[in-house]
Amino acid sequence: MRRSTLIAAVILAVLVVWPFVVPAYTRGLMIQTLILAIFAMSLDVQLGYTGLPSLGHAAYFGAAGFTAALLILHVTTNFWPILAACLGVAALGAALFGLLALQTTGAYFLMITLALAQVLWGLAFKWRSFTGGEDGLPGVSRPDLKLPISLWNDTTFYFFVLITFLISTALLLLLVRSPFGQALKGVRENALRMRALGYNVWLFKYLGFIIAGVFAGVAGMLFVFYNGHVSASDLSITMSGRVLLMVILGGTGTLVGPIFGSFAIVFLENEISSQIERWPIVMGAIYIAVVLFAPQGVIGLLKSWSARWGRA
């Protein structure tokens, strides 16, 4: 326990110093990492803790993103109502999709979450007059916090994202360690036994699904603030697959793992795409390699190594 606190403190210190010591470009990569880490952690609550694998998690990410963009472009730049609307849209979307998806399990659940996310993608992609279609909606300005700081300052924006990331992490950690979180794990491990113990298994799955959607919405909103732009690709299967890879690469059911996964994927993608022309082949190979060689994720590998050393 003390060692993990120490590691967390070191990482936090690095994150605080980061924007002052690296170039603007690398600072941008870390902003992306932190935003996508919230996204990946939200999926981990659903996949790792509740045992519901989703191929359509980008639905809530993108829906909140479009909500934020449309509000800023047409209605208001005040951050607080935008936040409320994004959380609301993500929660509503997850509540609706969850009703349909939770009728099934296993491979069906994967396909249905994929298909439902494609419903939104289809709308965003084709409904040009409203969503901008393939080009998306450009020129989204950063919101006004109604505080004496401006998010147009990139360092301020970095800390705004960092603080949101820390709050989200803390809330999710509290959640998974609470009795509610323990019940989610129970549902994942043995739904039948949980039912026999008197738990409403469906309700726990449903709540886990919605909570995951809400935090995905937080990430989607931040992502639009950062990019100044939203498009159908934010809702796409590529995005859903990417976040799934982050969770698996880091290690499911750990919350810390997905943070690392996000960091690894963002920086790897950037590095590979700037070095190699045929970078999708390399990215594809990474998916395949992770599945074959690190199915338990980096956290899983570390655990098995430390267990081996412990024995020696």
Partner 1 sequence: MAYWLTQTFNGLTFGMLLFLLAAGLSLIFGLMRIVNLAHGSFYLLGAYLALTVSQLTGSFLLAVLGAAAVVACLGIVIERLFLRRVQNQELPQVLLTFGFIFVLEDIALWLWGAIPTLLEKPVLFAGSLQIGGIVVPSYRILIVVVGLLIAAALWALQSRTRIGAIIRASVDDEEMARGLGINTPRMFTWMFALGCFLAALGGVMGGALVGMYPGAGFEILVLALVVVIVGGLGSLRGAFIGSLLVGLLDNFGKALFPELSLFTIFAPMAIVLAVKPTGLFGRA
| Residue numbers at the binding site for partner 1 (CB under 8 A) | 47, 53, 55, 99-100, 103-104, 106-108, 110-112, 114-116, 118-119, 121-123, 125-129, 237, 241, 244-245, 248, 278, 280-281, 283-288, 290-292, 295
For partner 1, the closer of residues 169 and 236 by Cβ is 236
Tokens of 260: 């690392």
Least distance to partner 1 from the beta carbon of 100, Å?
5
DSSP assignment of 173-239 equals HHHHHSHHHHHHHHHHH-HHHHHHTT--HHHHHHHHHHHHHHHHHHHHHHHHHHHT-B-GGGGSHHH
CB of 70 or CB of 283, closer to partner 1:
283
Measured from the CB of residue 187, what is the shortest distance to partner 1 in angstroms? 17
For partner 1, the closer CB: 63 or 162: 63
Nearer to partner 1, 2 or 278 (CB): 278
DSSP state of 46: I
* CA distance linking residue 164 with residue 41, whole number of Å: 13
Least distance CB 2 / partner 1 (angstroms): 34
Minimum distance, C-beta of residue 276 to partner 1, in the bound complex (Å): 11
Nearest distance from C-beta of residue 127 to partner 1, angstroms:
5
We find the least distance from the C-beta atom of residue 285 to partner 1, in angstroms, to be 7
Helix/strand number for the chain, H first, E second: 14, 0
On whether the CB atoms of residues 18 and 32 are closer than 8 A, the answer is no
- Which one, 25 or 293, has the nearer CB to partner 1? 293
Which position has the token pair 């129970």?
Answer: 186
Please say which residue, 127 or 305, places its beta carbon nearer to partner 1. Answer: 127
Q: Which of 47, 100, 69 is nearest to 215 (CA)?
A: 47
C-alpha closest to that of 35 among 266, 214, 270: 266
> 247: part of which helix (H) or strand (E)?
helix 237-250
